[in-house]
Amino acid sequence: MITLLKSATIIDASSPFHQQTKDILIVDGIIKKIDDNISKKKEYNILELDNLHVSCGWFDTSVSFGEPGYEERETIQNGLQVAAKSGFTSVAVNPNTNPVVDNKSAVEFLRNKANGFATNLFPIGTLTQQSKGEEMAELFDMQQSGAIAFGDYNKPVENDNLLKIALLYAQNFNGLVFSFAKNKKIAGEGVANEGINSTKLGLKGIPALAEELQIARDLFLLEYTGGKLHIPTISTEKSVQLIKDAKKKGLNVSCSVAIHNLVLTDDELHDFEANTKVTPPLRTQKDTKALLKGLKDGTIDIITSDHNPIDIEHKKVEFSVAKNGTIGLESAFGALNSVLDLETIIKCLSDNPKKIFDIKKTSINIDQKADLSFFNPEGNYIFSANDILSISKNSIFLNKKLKGKAYGVFNNNQLVLNL
């Protein structure tokens, strides 16, 4: 297959063509020519789109699909199509399936189901058996089968010694350990950020302390054990500072932030809309400002959609009993592009996650594999139900104003567009 991209503005700091508008010729999945004007030929598949921008493929490090066990929420096949049309060439899939991904057979199932798609699927294995937090899972076996990290999705490691042992053990094979930042005793039965809004609305609060106390513990353990620790989806100002201080000490810690925690605050709760019920909860304007600053100064490494499809039976219910989670792939770029500059977005969606998860990164250059995301950073629109491609419709960004859209991807010698 020969594909010609016309007038594409290249956003790739590692490329000699960075911030230049060029034609790009792709032959059998490899970039063969980049020039000001490449002549069209009848055998070429021509891609000409309004204000086309192209970057190295985006990698979402926290995606849930449901299959196996919760196919009514999302299937692997449809989920990977949604990811591709949303601009993602790679996704790391959480182990919160039924059964959970806690052994090599479960890892191999996911990888086999994902063969042949434009978007690559990288499984995350559980840290503990059955994700119960009691006994460590078969980490090395899962890594040998293709798992790229280990963590119990949205569940904290309550046993201090278990996390200590996991960090020590994983060093034998350079494994990456996740620790979700939530002290369950402090959080209690809370359903929203503890503050003025939760008090006004009569909702049980989750203090910022519940996250920060857990991060402080995790960092103490990491300092003792060594190893690689990833703290997913942080949400508070103090959390940013704790991780910044740890990095200054030289600890091998990375972290991510969910897009909705960058863009929205707990002011959204006033309608008791269950789609705004997420983990960690929406915080305050002060927290979102600190998170955005943490991205720009390099404290926060990764941005994720934290895409978590939930079926209508578990969302169209009273706020306090609704399941946590929002879908986020389809709205990811438009939401991010409304609060961040392109350079930071690409760095935190592509460069940093590939480095931290040890995924080979390409460059937009001649003789490199074409692993590309397409987007238009201009144009405002209201995100509506028609923009949702997922089986589940629980989007926190419904009826929100977004800026710019993803056009799709080229990866694995496949072109997938959302036009």
Query: Which stretches of 252-382 are assigned E, i.e. beta strand?
Result: 253-258, 302-304, 372-382
Report the number of secondary-structure helices (H) and strands (E) in the chain.
13, 18
Sequence-ordered alpha helix ranges (H) in 237-337:
237-249, 259-263, 285-296, 332-336
Task: Give the Å distances, CA to CA, from 330 to 82, 87, 113, 305.
Answer: 7, 9, 22, 9
Which helix (H) or strand (E) segment is 10 a member of?
A: strand 2-11
Task: Report whether 243 contacts 302 (CB < 8 A).
Answer: no
Taking the C-alpha atoms of 158, 161, 164 and 166 in order, what is their torsion angle to the nearest 10 degrees? -80
**Nearest CA-CA partner of 169 in 128, 131, 133:** 128
Work out the number of other CB atoms within 10 angstroms of the CB of residue 177.
25
Token pair belonging to 269: 């709760």
Of 306, 351, 371, 387, the active-site residue reads 306
DSSP state of 369: B
Q: Is 306 a known active-site residue?
A: yes
Return the SS3 of 297: coil
Listed residue (338, 257, 341) closest to 299, CA to CA: 257
Bridge partner list, 2: 27
Sign of the torsion angle spanned by Cα atoms 258, 263, 267, 270: negative
Could you list the active site residues? 306
